[in-house]
Amino acid sequence: MAHITLKDIAHSYTGASDNPDDYALKKLNLTWRDGGAYALLGPSGCGKTTLLNIISGLLTPTKGQVLFNDEDVTRLPTEQRNIAQIFQFPVIYDTMTVFQNLAFPLKNRGRTQVEIEPRVIELAKMLGLENDLYTKAQHLTADAKQKISLGRGLIRQSVNAILFDEPLTVIDPQLKWELRSQLKYLHKQFGFTMIYVTHDQTEALTFADEVIVMYEGEIVQVGTPEALFERPEHTFVGYFIGSPGMNITPCELKGDRIFIEGHEITLETHYKEQLASAKIEVGIRPEYLSLAQPQDKGLPVNIIKIDDIGRHKIARVALNDSVFHVVMPEMSGMTGDKASLVFDTAHTNIYVNDHLIAGEKP
Amino acid sequence: MIQKQINQKAWFMVLPVFLLVAFSAVIPLMTVVNYSFQDTFGSNKFFWVGMDWFRDLMHSERFHDAFLRQIAFSSIILAIEIPLGIAIALAMPKKGWGVPVCLISMSLPLLIPWNVVGTIWQIFGRVDIGLLGHTLASLGIDYNYTQDPIAAWLTIIAMDVWHWTSLVVLLSYAGLCSIPDAYYQAAKIDGASRISVFRYIQLPKMQGVLLIAVLLRFMDSFMIYTEPFVITGGGPGNSTTFMSIDLVKMAIGQFDLGPAAAMSLVYFLIILLLSWVFYTVMSNVGEESSKGGA
């Protein structure tokens, strides 16, 4: 058990270079609390797996240090870091039985059969593998194989951290949900530090206490699922989290007023004047927009399309060239294709050059 | 109701294949079978002798000796080439400029025709002008493959290892390259030793290609003819007279068509049987080892 610190980590697969574009991971600093449940969220190719491999020691970072409890382990090989890692696709030892597979990490560390056996049986029960313990692993289904991979990651009780690299990609949806709650339960019970890499926001938000969002080799936001939803610090987080993502539209900013396509909205906070060259945008979640009758106060919009997705409806509306998504509980008596778009100003964020800026209460 | 069309004309479509197989395999094989039950005193007159040739063959010391020599040769070849091939494949680089260099230098021996390989080694080993033979002789080692059976065997084995280990290397290397990186990463996470990685990841993943390598090398070495024929001609004495050399001596040298036909049929059946044994054993090898449980 340890807290893990990444200090000025950067990695380039082509070796040290002065060109920032060569870096799969740009300079980042991060501390993982001991016993925390983290999710690393981001689109494919944003450097999540690279970051994970640096923590486990499968990769040595081009720059920076990895610290376990303030001890520098940057050059320490994987075997000596006491880390468990589970990969996207099942990795099993074909010639071994399920039991031997699960026991392998313990056996390699010199544990006796007496210690190994009860632990393996306990874990096999937890994963629902107890009936296949003495079957050869290669004859099992992909689901079961991935459970074995998970099991090998969870078998050691004293690991510094367990790293999951999109481990449930190959698993059926129903079982996926079960295994995820199982992992959450294990986390509560044993207090492992868990870092879970995924590109699926639901997975990240349900699993983790804290979510780290990555984009193009950089960490764009670290926060609780609520913070990511309410106040995305980067327009990418706004787009990426939520379904549909945040509405982000160019606007003009004057103190506490913004102008979208010439229409004025008064906000609750006051913003400093920005440089003329800055890209200023307003961001609002579809959940915080609503539609009113055309004659009511609001932005005059055209309704393009309404999708019924069960619990609620999603309306696509246009104000000249700006398109907004609006989540509506029901079609509150709207007729025709004209409506007024109403902003919930308490949940309206302003972005300058893609980064959130804070306003002041007047 | 759908009327089922019956059209026997389709048989004509497969006729070319039948003809091809008939001329390339069935008819020559049947000719051999035909010879093996008959005797001739020339001028194209044949007499039915029944199973006599087979009976003679089973009791022929000459056949037994050739068979034992053949088994010994193939066993030695496999025992050297398979482990050596795996070892070289493991040592080969996985990326960078070393890959093409290694692959090309490995393929070179495979591109040389058999009789050229034989000639190369025949000259290489000569005591008067050969680099190997002369060097050994100057070092005071008594080496002469034309007179000493042991030297003749060593030369032929060295030649075969030189010629064919590359095949095992290339097959093993292909097997190794197909193992995803995640396996090695997982092994590191699990704290597996280098030997465990070989035993539990690399060897099982290479099983398929190794099966092919063993079968190819076994069949090839069991049929070896050209190279020993060029180097030693089967001698000194009969010490390197392997089965195919013996067969050719009998069929073409002595023109004993009947016994030679019987021998080639038995020879063929032995190769078939042993290949089947290898195949069955090797494809079951993984299954067996797992039944022991924990």
Other Cβ atoms closer than 10 A to B274: 16
Query: Would an 8 Å CB–CB cutoff place A148 in contact with chain B?
Result: no
- 3-state DSSP call for residue A231? coil
> Nearest 5°: phi and psi at B267?
-55, -50
By CA distance, what is B179's nearest residue in A? A91
3-state helix, strand, coil in chain B (%, to 5): 75, 0, 25
Nearest CA among A199, A200, A220, A225 for reference residue A210: A225
**CATH 2.40.50.140 residue ranges for chain A:** 247-357
> Nearest 5°: phi and psi at A19?
-85, 115
CA distance B160 to B74: 10
Whole-Å CA distances, A358 to A150, A268, A272, A351: 42, 12, 9, 9
- Say what the pLDDT of residue A279 is: 87
- Say what the pLDDT of residue B165 is: 95
**DSSP track, A63-126:** EEEEEETTEE-TTS-GGGT-EEEE-SS----TTSBHHHHHHHHHHHTT--HHHHHHHHHHHHHH
- 3-state DSSP call for residue B121? helix
The helix (H) or strand (E) run that includes residue A43 is none
In sequence order, which residues have a C-beta less than 8 Å from that of residue A39 and are 6 or more positions away?
A195, A196, A197, A198, A203, A204, A205, A207, A208, A210, A211, A212
Domain chopping of chain B, boundaries: 57-290
- Say what the pLDDT of residue B289 is: 47
- Looking only at the bridges linking them, the beta strands covering A299-308 and A313-319 are antiparallel
In sequence order, which residues have a C-beta less than 8 Å from that of residue B128 and are 6 or more positions away?
B134
- 3-state DSSP call for residue B156? helix
Assigned token pair, B25: 């395999």
Q: Which residues of A touch B186 (CB under 8 A)?
A: 85, 87, 91, 149, 152
* pLDDT level of residue B291 (50, 70, 90 thresholds): very low
As to burial, measured by CB atoms within 10 angstroms (0-12 exposed, 13-18 middle, 19+ buried), residue B42 is: exposed
CA distance B196 to B220: 32
Q: Which residues of A touch B183 (CB under 8 A)?
A: 91
Query: Would an 8 Å CB–CB cutoff place B189 in contact with chain A?
Result: yes
The string of pLDDT tens digits covering residues B213-235 is 998 999 889 888 888 888 888 77
Amino acid identity of A236? F
CATH class (in words) of the domain with range A247-357 = mainly beta
Residue whose tokens read 């016993």? A35
Name the minimum distance, in Å, from the CA of A127 to any CA of chain B: 19
Dihedral sign for Cα atoms in the order A39, A45, A51, A56:
positive
By CA distance, what is B183's nearest residue in A? A91
Whole-Å CA distances, A172 to A180, A195, A199, A236, B232: 12, 22, 17, 29, 66
* Alpha helices in chain A, H assignment, sequence order: 48-56, 98-108, 113-127, 142-154, 173-190, 201-207, 225-230, 235-240
Task: List the beta bridge partners of residue A25.
Answer: A11
* pLDDT level of residue B69 (50, 70, 90 thresholds): very high
Asked if residues A350 and A283 have their Cβ atoms less than 8 Å apart, the reply is yes
Nearest CA among A163, A140, A138 for reference residue A152: A163
ipTM of the complex: 0.78
> What count of residues does chain A have?
362
Report which DSSP code applies to A136.
Answer: B
CA distance A145 to A151: 10
In sequence order, which residues have a C-beta less than 8 Å from that of residue A190 and are 6 or more positions away?
A157
Residue of B183, B192, B201 lying closest to A108 (CB–CB)? B192
Name the minimum distance, in Å, from the CA of A255 to any CA of chain B: 54
Name the minimum distance, in Å, from the CA of B91 to any CA of chain A: 21
**CATH 3.40.50.300 residue ranges for chain A:** 4-239
State yes or no: pLDDT of B294 exceeds 50: no
Residue whose tokens read 């690991």? A159
Residue of A83, A96, A138 lying closest to B189 (CB–CB)? A83
State yes or no: pLDDT of B75 exceeds 90: yes
Assigned token pair, B143: 């080496």
Please state the rounded mean pLDDT for residues B182-208: 90
Q: Which residues of B touch A94 (CB under 8 A)?
A: 200, 204-205, 286
Name the region of B181 (left: φ>0; alpha: ψ -120 to 50; beta: rest). alpha
CATH number belonging to domain A4-239? 3.40.50.300
The helix (H) or strand (E) run that includes residue B167 is helix B149-177
CA distance A50 to A46: 9
Q: Which residues of B touch A53 (CB under 8 A)?
A: 185
What's the Rg (C-alpha) of chain A?
25
> Nearest 5°: phi and psi at A200?
-105, 115
- How is the beta sheet containing A37-41 ordered, strand by strand? A83-86, A161-165, A194-198, A37-41, A210-215, A218-223
Asked if residues B224 and B72 have their Cβ atoms less than 8 Å apart, the reply is no
> What is the full per-residue pLDDT of chain A (362 aa) written as tens digits?
678 888 888 888 887 777 777 888 888 888 888 888 899 888 888 888 888 889 888 888 888 888 888 888 888 888 888 889 998 888 999 888 899 999 998 988 888 888 888 889 988 888 888 888 888 888 888 888 888 998 898 888 888 889 998 888 878 888 888 888 888 888 888 888 899 998 888 888 888 888 999 888 888 889 888 888 888 989 998 888 888 889 999 888 888 888 888 888 888 888 888 787 888 899 999 889 888 888 888 888 888 888 887 778 888 888 888 889 988 877 566 667 888 888 888 888 889 888 888 877 76
* Angle subtended at Cα B24 by Cα B19 and Cα B28, rounded to the nearest 5 degrees: 110
Q: Which residues of B touch A55 (CB under 8 A)?
A: none
Assigned token pair, A90: 């099942």
Q: Please indicate whether, in this complex, the C-beta atoms of A56 and B293 are within 8 angstroms of each other.
A: no
The string of pLDDT tens digits covering residues B149-167 is 888 899 999 999 999 999 9
Q: Please indicate whether, in this complex, the C-beta atoms of A94 and B289 are within 8 angstroms of each other.
A: no
Q: Which residues of A touch B289 (CB under 8 A)?
A: 95
Query: Would an 8 Å CB–CB cutoff place B293 in contact with chain A?
Result: yes
Q: Between A145 and B291, name the one with better pLDDT.
A: A145
Report which DSSP code applies to A346.
Answer: G
To the nearest 10°, the Cα dihedral for B219, B225, B230, B231? 60
Size of interface A-B (CB pairs under 8 A): 72
Q: Please indicate whether, in this complex, the C-beta atoms of A78 and B189 are within 8 angstroms of each other.
A: yes
Asked if residues A91 and A84 have their Cβ atoms less than 8 Å apart, the reply is no
HSE-CB at B189 with a 13 A cutoff on CA atoms is: 35
**CATH superfamily ID and name for B57-290:** MetI-like (1.10.3720.10)
- Say what the pLDDT of residue B292 is: 40
Query: Would an 8 Å CB–CB cutoff place A89 in contact with chain B?
Result: yes
- 3-state DSSP call for residue B104? helix
